[in-house]
Structure 1
Amino acid sequence: MAVSVTLPALGESVSEGTVTRWLKAEGERVEVDEPLLEVSTDKVDTEIPAPASGILASIKVAEDETVEVGAELAVIDDGSGAPAEAPAPAAAEAPAAQPEPTPAPVAEVPAPAAPAEEAPAAPAAGAAEGTPVVLPALGESVTEGTVTRWLKEVGDSVDVDEPLLEVSTDKVDTEIPAPVAGTLLEIVVGEDETAEVGAKLAVIGVAGAAPAAAAAPAPAAPVEAPAPVAQPEPTPAPAAPAPAPVQAAPAAAAPAPVQAAAPVAAPAPAAPAAPAAPVAPAAPVAPVSGAEADGAYVTPLVRKLAAENGVNLATVQGTGVGGRIRKQDVIAAAEAVKAAAAAPAAAAPAAAPKAAAVEASPLRGQTVKMTRMRKVIGENMMKALHGQAQLTSVVEVDITKIMRMRNKAKDAFAAREGVKLSPMPFFVKAAVQALKAHPVVNARINDDEGTITYHDVENIGIAVDAEKGLMTPVIKGAGDLNIAGIARKTAELAGKVRTNKISPDDMSGATFTISNTGSRGALFDTVIVPPNQVGILGIGATVKRPVVITHPELGETIAIRDMTYLALSYDHRLVDGADAARYLTTVKQLLEAAEFEAEIGL
Structure 2
Amino acid sequence: MDIKAPDLGVDSAEVSEIMVAVGDVIAKDDNIVLLESDKASVEVPSSAAGKVTKINVAIGDQVSEGMVLIEVESADASDDNDDTAEEVTDSEQADDNNEDAPVEDDADAEEATDDAGEGASTTHALPDIGVDEAQVAEIMVSVGDTVSADESILLIESDKASVEVPAPEAGVVEKILVNAGDTVANGQDFIVIKAAGTPKAKPKADTAKTEDKADKPAPKTESKSQPAPTGEPEQAPAPTSTAAPAGKKLSEAEVNEKLVDVYAGPAVRKLARQLGVDITQVKGSALNDRILKEDLFAHVKNRLTTQQAAPAAQGAVSSGLPKLPDMSNVEIWGETETQDLSRLQKVSIPQLNYNTYLPQVTQFDLSDITETEKLRGELKGDMKAQGIGLTILAFIVKATAYALTQHPRFNSHLSDDNTQIILRKSVNMGIAVATDDGLVVPVIKNAQDKGIKQIAIEIGELAGKARDKKLTTKDMQGASFTISSQGILGGTSFTPLVNWPQVGILGASEATMQPVWNDAKQTFEPRLMLPLSLSYDHRVINGADAAVFTRYVATLLADPRRILL
Range class of TM-score, shorter chain:
0.3 to 0.5
TM-score norm. by structure 2 comes to: 0.40
TM-score norm. by structure 1 comes to: 0.38
Higher relative contact order (Cα pairs below 8 Å, separated by 6+ residues): 1
